[in-house]
Structure 1
Amino acid sequence: MNDSVQGNVAADRRDLVILGGGLVGMTLALAAARHGMSSHVVERADPADLTADGVDGRASAISAASWNLFTNIGLAEALAPLGCPIDSIAVTDGMKPGRIDFKPDAGDGSLGMMFANRDIRLALFEAARNQPLIAWHTQADVVKRERDAHGVAATLADGRVLTGSLMVGAEGRRSPTRDEEGIGLVAWDYHHHAIVTALAHEKPHDGVAWEIFYSAGPFALLPLRDLPDGRHRSALVWTVPAKDGPGVMALSDAAFLAEVAKRMDGLYGGLELIAQRMCYPLTYQNATRIVGDRLALVGDAAHGMHPIAGQGLNLGLRDVGALVEVLIEGMRLGLEPGDAQLLTRYERWRALDTFTVMSVMDGIVRLFGVPGRTASAVRRIGMGAVQRMPGLKRFFMNEARGTSGRLPQLLQAQ
């Protein structure tokens, strides 16, 4: 690379140039700002489109550790009234006997919180608007990325040049920043699609997250806060074989709800569809490295996993906590955010945690995907054994809370 970045240095040079202003990218900008680091955040979409009512029926399970992060960057007050505590998790093989119930002891708190993605975005975007250390560039396309010994620069389609010390790729699974750097992926296709929407239902969910495993794919019901009119509400993530995805999406609302009701076995009584259906192909992908010269990857740009157990966003938020902590410690020693030593520390910190979580989730998907009555019986025997082992259940609950392993300071209770 030539010295063009040095020539592009403008008065508004910032510590970070974050490409991608979604849930992980904007959380990173806010977490960095809390520690005095400035950033440019570039987002292709219009925030109004991302937060329009009814557009996105997706929801995210926010682990206890991730909730600490939101609390520590000042979002708890805005988000707390919108979240639904996950008081327990029920895991079952096709609603047959032998399920596992993960329920914390009294005083241990919930396993996490469920939020509609729209509500998280609204809180993040409002905080970003009021944060002078964040320069937010929306409906903006990056046409050129440059990195050299002097810094980084992102040129936008309108000619603006955004400069900084470190470039962060946070654009999601199809990250052009990652691809342009030539970073490879360990990847495979699950040959399944996730059908995602939100349901209103007759009976209360009592804060239970259901993970119902069928041989065709997992069927998850995730508790959401009741609607203002008192209707009970849950998010649905229904995994179907890829060949069936278009057909399920083409069903009428009534036919779709009838298929959903069959798999719920009367769990919540009458159902109503309250968000549009969305369909996503399911793949596994893990970047072969997550740093380069003055470059770091976070969130789905670094790793994309099956939505089982809802750990994808939490893994990205751990990236945020680790990267911010490494950068803060380096800057205290007089290093700039793009220093190679700091990026090496970030990559080493995240490598084992990411690999472990993704491998476990992939193993569970494959285990419960084995068809046949014999396989189902063996799974249920194993689940029954786990149900009778408090120590093992506690281990799994700590994983769900995100409190295992070395946690960044931002993800610890202060």
Structure 2
Amino acid sequence: MAETKIYDVIIAGGGFVGMSLALALGGAAPKGFRVALVDAEPAESTKSDARALALSAASKGLLSVLGIWPALAGNAEAITTIEITDSSLDAKRRPHLLGFDDDLKPGESGAYMIENEDFIRGLSSAVLRAPAIEMLAPDSVTSFAATPFAIEARLASGGRLGAKLLIAADGKRSRLRERAGIKCVGWSYPQLGIVTTVAHAKPHHGKAVQHFLPGGPFAMLPLKGNRCSIVWTEDKTMGEAIMASDESVFLAELAKRFGTRLCEIALAGPRQSFPLDFQVARSFVGERLALVGDAAHAVHPLAGQGLNIGLRDVAALTEIVVEGARLGMDVGASALLERYERWRRFDSAFSATVMDGLNRLFSNDNAPLRALRDLGLGIVDNAPRLKRAPVREAAGVSGTLPRLLKGERL
């Protein structure tokens, strides 16, 4: 029998949320606190990735406390303005219906764009340097068993790990969530998500554009240089046909949606597609088990909030576990896990429901409904107090925030 290696916490899943959580726990917990981070991908592995991430001001605060924002800042592009428009695909004019300019602290943007590869590289480097974290990769947790005092995880490699708490950060198809018998509320959308990077002739000046089209929202998000990340939601059948087409046809379809404001465009990265789902776990905790990130909730990408919601999980769970550890409490105790669930489940479900409602409201070609939508957007655009609420929500600075999201150390 393999010897059981003992840690304080085991994190299953080494993606953005899993690595951020490991760094947060390893950096703030009492001396001697040990974290095992188990991931199916080899350590320091890199894949070509067409995606980019929108990091809220609150997420930036957390990353600053973790000490990795300085390494990311040079590759991050601040979003200074957001423009929203709503029209059919063949409309000759795309009216400005709603715009947001940052009104946070002077010099502070509400959001930043960073490419996936740059973010994962920064996180991986910090994890491998952290003395409190042991990276076990490539490997995965295949099963686990909880007792009143601990939890044991078995690995695909044959190893065994023991801890007070097991954290599932293994994505929306979480095996650990399934093994714990935790069900989800959710459905699949009749849409396809398409992502790529575009180079353009004119500078974007930090402006993000969200164009609501009948097939779904089309977002142009600023990156460093004269480039934009494209997050394109399309009717599933149409989207699959576009993805199957050659590059010239794909670029022509892209140009119809991108418009001419930034002049000539060209593909500056691979194109990728993925199915779109709504999913919220019925419980965020089990016996000595906590769910974070996509294992707990998956949202429509129209507002780019998926990762930010996951980082809210990181900040809340870290605060609860660290406070418990400093008091000598069992960090896998049900009282602490129930506190985490109360803090995070309503907020996550509310955010997911808002994204779902917006997608349903705008992803159609109903003329009377479009007129009502446009009237509503115009009213909000001319009401500064109404506009302030969604700006603060997108920046992640509304509600009861964990200290890490305020940029405060624990």
Q: TM-score range by the shorter chain?
A: over 0.9
Partner Cα separation in structure 2 for residue 270 and residue 261 of structure 1: 9
Partner Cα separation in structure 1 for residue 396 and residue 182 of structure 2: 28
Deviation at 1:141, TM superposition (A): 2.9
Counterpart pick for 1:63 among 56, 70, 94 = 56
Hey, what does 1:372 align to over in structure 2? Answer: 366
Hey, what does 2:65 align to over in structure 1? Answer: 72
Hey, what does 2:80 align to over in structure 1? Answer: 87
Hey, what does 2:203 align to over in structure 1? Answer: 204
Deviates more, 1:106-115 or 1:374-383: 106-115
Partner Cα separation in structure 2 for residue 48 and residue 134 of structure 1: 15
Deviation at 1:18, TM superposition (A): 0.4
Hey, what does 1:144 align to over in structure 2? Answer: 143
Hey, what does 2:90 align to over in structure 1? Answer: none
Letter paired with 1:406: T
Hey, what does 2:163 align to over in structure 1? Answer: 164
> SS where residue 223 of structure 1 aligns?
strand
Hey, what does 1:337 align to over in structure 2? Answer: 331
> SS where residue 82 of structure 1 aligns?
coil
Structure 1 residues 47 and 274, CA, compared in 2 at 3 Å: closer, same or farther? Answer: farther
Residue ranges of structure 2 left out of the alignment (5+ in a row):
88-92
> SS where residue 247 of structure 1 aligns?
helix
Counterpart pick for 1:305 among 290, 299, 302 = 299
Deviation at 1:60, TM superposition (A): 0.8
> SS where residue 102 of structure 1 aligns?
strand
Q: Say if 2:229 is the partner of 1:235.
A: yes
Letter paired with 2:257: R
Partner Cα separation in structure 2 for residue 144 and residue 394 of structure 1: 46
Q: TM-score, normalised by structure 2?
A: 0.94
Partner Cα separation in structure 2 for residue 158 and residue 215 of structure 1: 48
Hey, what does 1:289 align to over in structure 2? Answer: 283
> SS where residue 99 of structure 2 aligns?
strand
* 1:70-117 CA-partner distances (Å, limit 9, x unpaired): 001111111111100011111110363242110024826211111111
Partner Cα separation in structure 2 for residue 288 and residue 9 of structure 1: 35
Q: Supply the RMSD in Å over aligned alpha carbons.
A: 1.6
Deviation at 1:193, TM superposition (A): 0.6
Does the 8 A contact of 2:84 with 2:96 survive in 1? no
Deviates more, 1:238-247 or 1:22-31: 238-247
Runs of 4+ in 1 over 3 A off after TM superposition: 7-10
Alignment of 1:307-322 (within 5 A): 307-322=301-316
Deviates more, 1:401-410 or 1:361-370: 361-370
Partner Cα separation in structure 2 for residue 277 and residue 154 of structure 1: 37
Q: Say if 2:125 is the partner of 1:109.
A: no
> How many residues are aligned here?
399
Does the 8 A contact of 2:43 with 2:135 survive in 1? no
Does the 8 A contact of 2:381 with 2:387 survive in 1? yes
* 1:253-299 CA-partner distances (Å, limit 9, x unpaired): 12111111111220221111122111111110000001011000000
* 1:14-64 CA-partner distances (Å, limit 9, x unpaired): 111100000000000000011134211111123454x24xx1011110000
Counterpart pick for 2:247 among 228, 245, 253 = 253
Partner Cα separation in structure 2 for residue 185 and residue 199 of structure 1: 36
Structure 1 residues 202 and 98, CA, compared in 2 at 3 Å: closer, same or farther? Answer: closer
Hey, what does 1:34 align to over in structure 2? Answer: 27
Hey, what does 2:194 align to over in structure 1? Answer: 195
Letter paired with 2:39: E
Residue ranges of structure 1 left out of the alignment (5+ in a row):
1-6, 227-231
Does the 8 A contact of 1:330 with 1:337 survive in 2? yes
Q: Say if 2:152 is the partner of 1:153.
A: yes
Partner Cα separation in structure 2 for residue 289 and residue 56 of structure 1: 32
Does the 8 A contact of 2:242 with 2:249 survive in 1? no
Deviation at 1:158, TM superposition (A): 2.1
